[in-house]
Amino acid sequence: MTIVPRPWLSGDDDFDDDDSFESAHLPSPGPFLDGHAVLTGPDHAAFHRLTRTRFEARSVYDVTFGYNLARLNLDARHPDAGYRYAVDADDPSVLRAEFTPTTEFCPQSDTLATASFRAWNADDVGPPHEFSLVRVRVAPMHEASDRINGRLADLEASFQEAGPVAETDRGGAAGGPTTPL
């Protein structure tokens, strides 16, 4: 029984294959990725598969669409939304991730970007990746991107001082950050 009806959901025909890279179904890389090595093709698809697993472990879900946020990249109905990734030009151990929400007023953008940061930078969830840090920003098309990105920069600085985000930090029980997720 469906508790919350979601008439905007559709079947698998509206989604790209998990192993595909369909640039026409992804947002264009934004300013946070300018001048850095943007992942495309198999490199983008491989990191995105890992992302799906880590987001599942940390319950990074878009409640509007009712799915793991990583699935947004595969949703052909939203070709200008999702994540794009780039290896930092100055430090190849750092990956940059820019989230473009479906609308400029998406109320979940702060929570989703924060949860994404925590999932990627946790050392206790999902398969490891080769990056020492995944930096996250929200695309400037979002009306609150400056505020959100300021918070993400603060979270990033805390991470660099304190280290990986532990599972116990999810509720602030370990004395860590108390931001949602």
pTM: 0.81
- In this structure, are residues 142 and 86 in contact, taking their beta carbons and an 8 Å threshold? no
Amino acid 175 reads G
- Residue-wise pLDDT tens digits, 60-82: 999 888 888 988 877 778 889 88
In a domain, 92, yes or no: yes
pLDDT the model gives residue 27: 82
- Residue-wise pLDDT tens digits, 27-47: 899 999 999 999 999 998 899
pLDDT the model gives residue 12: 58
More confident residue, 11 or 84: 84
Whether the per-residue pLDDT at 181 is higher than 60: the answer is no
For residue 172, what pLDDT band results from cuts at 50, 70 and 90? Answer: very low
In a domain, 18, yes or no: no
In a domain, 177, yes or no: no
Average pLDDT of the chain is 83
Count of domains for the chain: 1
Count of other CB atoms within 10 angstroms of residue 39:
23
Mean pLDDT of 18-24: 64
For residue 86, what pLDDT band results from cuts at 50, 70 and 90? Answer: very high
Domain encompassing residue 134: 30-171
In a domain, 145, yes or no: yes
Torsion of CA 162, 168, 172, 175, to 10 degrees: -50
8: tokens are: 């905007």
In a domain, 138, yes or no: yes
The rounded distance, in Å, linking the Cα atoms of 27 and 30 is 8
In a domain, 17, yes or no: no
In a domain, 21, yes or no: no
In a domain, 12, yes or no: no
Find all residues with CB under 8 Å of 133, minimum gap 6, and list them.
93, 94, 95, 121, 156, 159, 160
- In this structure, are residues 94 and 132 in contact, taking their beta carbons and an 8 Å threshold? yes
The rounded distance, in Å, linking the Cα atoms of 152 and 1 is 38
